[in-house]
């Protein structure tokens, strides 16, 4: 489990959190519970930490007041039943370490050993680490009489390097089992010996990670803020953690329940913390400030500051931050608490937070308000504001999901006090993805938004045939039916479905949505087929607005009127003036006289792609954070500028990745084929065979450059044929079930984020495999090629997916299935020629340097 964690951290910028509250030295509560031998309650603290986000639990039972070895068995017995997270055994007594190790399941961590007494601790403890397969925290401490605990960055590195050599060479410990603690010193006690300690620790981490990249690093974060007021401590700890993480910190010992999110710290507070941590030269020092002279012309690097300057700078920043948090912070907190209760309740929803929510819901109930009135009153007012803010571009999809989570938590809590009959909803809608289509993510987003805005949603799932919809209509008596679909084919299936619903006498409004759909297609094709109003919803929020308008007697008629059919459906069309087929069999724009590159192999390859981080590095951030999670603007740029929204979104997605790391398995099947073109036909052959195994026929452009995909296959040269590659990749195994589970439990961000991650992992896997295919073809990308260049296909050749404008015929997917048998990697082809699971991509890859993306023109309009 620990290894999995570590693996998934390799490219992450968030450290694993180690809960620090089960420590008799650091937590008075834990100490008292241990003293009173309340083991049940004491072990509850561990469970709470894990619930609060800890990935590992640090346990320290070592004190002068008790016999640690008597306490270990009773406490660990309870602990291992309640907590499945790895345990960090925090004691200096080797016999206690060994005793605790006997209770730990899976991999444990020993905290800690060092060189303070020479190699004594190494000699005693490392053999235990070997015996129990544990990792070891190694403090940057040695025998130095003057300063055993390494303070400067250089000494931290030197002690780490010496320990590393001993541990790996003499004691045979693997680098992956070594976790260095570069040590933290308090920056706000006024002790001159510790000034600059925070910077040195950050830089120490950086040096250690550069010199010894395979080891991990760990820090006890809270020590840095010792001596400050509580509010200031939370901020300073969080800012310090942020910089340590950027320097490469892998594990952080923190109070997970009291960690302020870096992204939500106001800029001014961040500045105060940074000034203190980094001993920045003070700005705008008042002219009459007592030590004013010392605070002018201060060098930026604390090491270049004079001794008196250092002390004055440190005092100045301590005073500034302490003063701010003694006054301003208190005021702010008071203000929030002073808001009228209804406003506070609405605010929980708008801000997507649950901190204090249940207590305030109870206060509202105590006022005599019924649960239903609470939902329909202040909570719904909050959701309405969320909708308004989203439409005004002030909230992004990810934040709307957090608001929905707060709403779901409120409803879950209130439900226990509601009568069965108390389910007055705003309306009911049956939602489904149409026959042949596996598209789930868009429909589920619609479900979440509608449900948490008071609608009863019956989600029938994917690949739903008209008969099932009719059955659901008769059973649930909905006010509307919502249809979803990804592809043009699904838009056409909506026309058929609408006609079947009409045939069954259904007349309630239809709402339709999907990437390949348009308002025009809806009005001119689907609505005539249905004979009643069909509303096109470009996104989930539009779906909500339409439902609200349809359920409001004041606006209903107008909406129905606006979305009535125009024309008679099948007849209305797409009068496309089709130009005559050109009399050419090859585009003059595509060269035919190029040498045919060799391919390395011609057999079919089937692969599990085990390195998720490798695949994820090919994810296009614009797609994941922008299109799916709704971030507006240039995500990468804003992230680099430390935009709080970008950072928060990134960190939340990292959490989704951590979960996904446990089950997401990108798989690929691909093969190079010999190929020959004959006009618009492209024949594929088994090696050396005379007869093709399959022939694809592509449309040719009727105007412009008269391009056709088959032109990208070079004519045979000296009896040797050209080649192309075909592939199918997937990252969808197990995604639907897990996302559904998270949705049902009210973890909407996770639910949506997981589907978005899977989808973009499939696309990333396609990009990754395409690169590999180029390498196997003998023309690897130049080393300086960036991902951004890759995303805009600045490489040799291109890949084309059926359904896209150069090869719109989705039925050609059947050819791929015949040739590659992607069932072996778990991908099925539906009757609508879609790939199930949803997070799958297929493509044909050409090497021709003249390849370009083009459209063959109108191909069935939607």
Residues that bind ligand B1M (CB under 6 A): 438-439, 441-443, 445-446, 482, 484, 486-489, 511, 513-516, 537, 539-540, 543, 627-628, 759, 762-763, 801-804, 808, 810, 834-835, 838-842
C-beta closer to ligand B1M: residue 240 or 473 = 473
CB of 433 to ligand B1M, least distance (A): 8
What is the Cα 294 distance to its own chain's centre? 47
- Residue 51 CA to residue 686 CA, distance in Å, equals 56
By beta-carbon proximity to ligand B1M, the closer residue of 2 and 669 is: 669
What contacts 638, CB < 8 A, 6 or more positions away?
631, 645, 646
Bridge partner list, 220: 253
Of 258 and 532, CB closest to ligand B1M? 532
SS3 content of the chain, % helix, strand, coil (to 5): 50, 15, 35
Among residues 100 and 816, whose Cβ is nearest to ligand B1M? 816
Residue from 263, 265, 267, 277 nearest 639 by CA: 263
- The number of CA neighbours under 13 Å toward the Cβ of 355 is 9
User: Distance between CA 526 and CA 513 in Å, rounded?
Assistant: 12
Q: Which of 307, 314, 244, 278 is nearest to 17 (CA)?
A: 244
- Smaller CB distance to ligand B1M: residue 381 or 458? 458
SS (H, E, C) 352-407: CCCCCHHHHHHHHHHCCCCHHHHHHHHHHHHHHHHHHHHHCCCCCHHHHHHHHHHH
Q: Closer to ligand B1M at the Cβ: 204 or 630?
A: 630
- How buried is residue 63: exposed, middle or buried, by Cβ count under 10 Å (0-12/13-18/19+)? middle
Report the DSSP beta bridge partners of residue 730: 667, 840
Min dist CB 483 to ligand B1M, Å, is 6
Whether 670 and 769 have beta carbons less than 8 Å apart is answered as: yes
Buried b (16+ CB within 10 A) or exposed e, 156-172: bbbbbeebbebbbeebe
In whole angstroms, the minimum distance from the beta carbon of 514 to ligand B1M comes to 5
Closest to ligand B1M by CB, 55 vs 738, is 738
Cβ closer to ligand B1M: 680 or 861? 861
CB of 217 or CB of 493, closer to ligand B1M: 493
Distance from C-alpha of 827 to C-alpha of 568, rounded to nearest angstrom: 38
- In 3D space, the residue among 666, 438, 642, 453 whose CA is nearest the CA of residue 548 turns out to be 453
Q: Helix 397-415 crosses helix 748-777 at what angle (to 10 degrees)?
A: 140
- Tell me how far, at minimum, the Cβ of 32 lies from ligand B1M, in Å: 51
CB of 521 to ligand B1M, least distance (A): 12
Nearer to ligand B1M, 361 or 856 (CB): 856
CB of 323 to ligand B1M, least distance (A): 47
CB of 452 to ligand B1M, least distance (A): 14
| Residue with the two structure tokens 């679909």 | 485
CB 647 within 8 A of CB 638: no
Listing DSSP states for 666-702 in one string gives: -EEEEEEEEEEEETTEEEEESTT-SS-SEEEE----S
Q: Burial of 284 by CB count in 10 Å (0-12 exposed, 13-18 middle, 19+ buried)? A: exposed
Smallest gap from Cβ 482 to ligand B1M, in A, equals: 3
Q: Which residue is nearest to ligand B1M (CB)?
A: 513
Cβ at position 640, least distance to ligand B1M in Å: 24
Q: How far is the CB of 313 from ligand B1M (least distance, A)?
A: 51
For the bound state, the minimum distance from the C-beta of residue 604 to ligand B1M, rounded and expressed in Å, comes to 19
For the CB of residue 487, give the shortest distance to ligand B1M in the complex, in Å.
Answer: 3
Choice between 220 and 803, CB closer to ligand B1M: 803
Residue 732 beta carbon to ligand B1M: minimum distance, rounded to whole angstroms? 8
Minimum CB distance to ligand B1M, residue 456 (Å): 13
Classify each residue of 178-202 as buried b or exposed e, where b means 16 or more C-beta atoms within 10 Å of its C-beta.
bbbbbbbbbbbbeeeebbbbbbbbb
Instruction: Give whichever of 183 and 708 is closer to ligand B1M, judged by the CB atom.
Output: 708
Q: Which is nearer to ligand B1M, 99 or 835 (CB)?
A: 835
Q: In 10 A of CB 724, how many CB atoms? A: 27
Q: Which of 534, 532, 509, 515 is nearest to 523 (CA)?
A: 534
Cβ distance to ligand B1M smaller for residue 141 or 446: 446
Question: Is the Cβ–Cβ distance between 813 and 842 less than 8 Å?
Answer: yes
């Amino acid at each position: 489990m620990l290894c999995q964690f570590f693996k998934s951290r390799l490219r992450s910028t968030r450290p694993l959190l180690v809960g620090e509250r089960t420590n008799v030295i650091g937590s008075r509560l834990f100490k008292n519970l241990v003293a009173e031998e309340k083991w049940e309650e004491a072990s509850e603290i561990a469970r709470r930490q894990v619930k609060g986000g800890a990935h590992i639990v640090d346990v320290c039972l070592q004190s002068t007041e008790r016999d640690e070895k008597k306490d270990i068995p009773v406490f660990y017995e309870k602990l291992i039943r309640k907590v499945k997270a790895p345990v960090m055994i925090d004691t200096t007594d080797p016999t206690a370490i060994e005793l605790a190790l006997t209770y730990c399941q899976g991999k444990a961590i020993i905290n800690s050993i060092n060189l303070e007494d020479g190699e004594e601790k190494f000699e005693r403890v490392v053999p235990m680490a070997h015996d129990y397969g544990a990792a070891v925290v190694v403090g940057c401490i040695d025998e130095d009489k003057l300063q055993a605990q390494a303070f400067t960055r250089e000494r931290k590195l030197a002690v780490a390097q010496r320990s590393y050599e001993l541990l790996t060479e003499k004691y045979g410990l693997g680098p992956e089992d070594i976790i260095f603690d570069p040590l933290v010193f308090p920056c706000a006690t006024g002790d001159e010996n510790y000034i600059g300690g925070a910077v040195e620790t950050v830089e120490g981490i950086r040096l250690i990670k550069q010199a010894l990249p395979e080891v991990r690093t760990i820090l006890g974060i809270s020590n840095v803020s010792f001596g400050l007021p509580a509010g200031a401590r939370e901020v300073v700890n969080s800012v310090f953690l942020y910089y340590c993480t950027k320097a490469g910190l892998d594990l952080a010992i923190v109070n997970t329940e009291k960690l302020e999110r870096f992204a939500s710290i106001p800029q001014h507070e961040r500045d105060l913390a940074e000034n203190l941590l980094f001993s920045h030269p003070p700005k705008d020092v008042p002219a009459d400030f007592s030590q004013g002279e010392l605070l002018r012309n201060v060098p930026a690097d604390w090491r270049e500051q004079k001794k008196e300057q250092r002390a004055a700078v440190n005092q100045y920043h301590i005073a500034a931050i302490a003063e701010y948090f003694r006054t301003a912070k208190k005021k702010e907190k008071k203000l929030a608490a002073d808001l009228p209760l209804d406003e506070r309740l609405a605010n929980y929803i708008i801000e997507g937070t649950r901190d204090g929510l249940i207590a305030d819901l109870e206060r509202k109930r105590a006022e005599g308000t019924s649960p239903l009135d609470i939902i329909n009153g202040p909570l719904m007012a909050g959701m309405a504001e969320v909708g308004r803010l989203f439409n005004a571009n002030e909230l992004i999809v990810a934040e709307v999901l957090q608001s929905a989570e707060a709403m779901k938590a409120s409803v879950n809590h209130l439900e226990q006090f509601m009568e069965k009959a108390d389910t007055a909803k705003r309306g009911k809608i049956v939602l489904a993805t149409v026959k042949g289509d596996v598209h789930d993510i868009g429909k589920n987003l619609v479900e979440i938004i509608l449900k948490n805005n008071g609608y009863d949603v019956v989600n029938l799932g994917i690949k739903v045939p008209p008969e099932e919809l009719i059955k659901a209509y008769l059973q649930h008596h909905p006010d509307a039916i919502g249809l979803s679909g990804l592809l043009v084919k699904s838009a056409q299936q909506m026309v058929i479905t609408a006609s079947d619903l009409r045939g069954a006498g259904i007349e309630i409004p239809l709402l339709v949505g999907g990437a390949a759909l348009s308002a025009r297609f809806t009005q001119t094709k689907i609505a005539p087929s249905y004979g009643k109003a069909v509303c096109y919803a470009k996104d989930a929020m539009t779906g909500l607005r339409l439902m609200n308008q349809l359920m409001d007697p004041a606006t209903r008629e107008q909406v129905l009127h606006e979305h009535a059919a125009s024309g008679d459906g099948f007849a209305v069309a797409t009068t496309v003036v089709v130009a005559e087929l050109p009399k050419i069999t090859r585009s003059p724009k595509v060269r035919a006289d190029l040498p045919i590159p060799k391919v390395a192999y011609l057999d079919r390859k089937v692969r599990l792609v085990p390195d998720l981080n490798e695949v994820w590095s090919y994810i296009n951030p614009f797609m994941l954070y922008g299109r799916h999670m709704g971030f507006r603007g240039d995500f990468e740029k804003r992230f680099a500028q430390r935009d709080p929204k970008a950072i928060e979104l990134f960190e939340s997605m990292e959490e989704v990745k951590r979960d996904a790391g446990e089950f997401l398995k990108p798989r690929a099947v691909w093969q190079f084929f010999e190929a020959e073109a004959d006009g618009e036909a492209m024949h594929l052959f088994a090696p050396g065979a005379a007869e093709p195994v399959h022939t694809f026929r592509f449309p040719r452009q009727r105007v412009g450059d008269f391009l056709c995909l088959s032109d990208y296959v070079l004519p045979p040269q000296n009896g040797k044929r050209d080649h192309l590659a075909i592939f199918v990749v997937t990252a969808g195994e197990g995604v639907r079930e897990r996302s559904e589970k998270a949705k049902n439990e009210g973890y909407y961000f996770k639910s949506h984020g997981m589907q978005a991650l899977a989808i973009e992992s499939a696309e990333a896997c396609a990009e990754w495999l395409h690169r590999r295919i180029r390498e196997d073809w003998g023309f690897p990308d130049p080393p300086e090629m960036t991902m951004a260049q890759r995303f805009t296909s600045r490489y040799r050749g291109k890949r084309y997916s059926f359904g896209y404008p150069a090869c719109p015929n989705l039925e050609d997917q059947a050819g791929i299935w015949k040739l590659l048998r992607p069932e072996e990697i778990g991908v099925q082809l539906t009757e609508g020629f879609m790939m199930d699971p949803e997070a799958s991509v297929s493509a044909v890859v050409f090497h021709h340097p003249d390849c370009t993306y083009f459209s063959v023109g109108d191909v069935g309009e939607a």
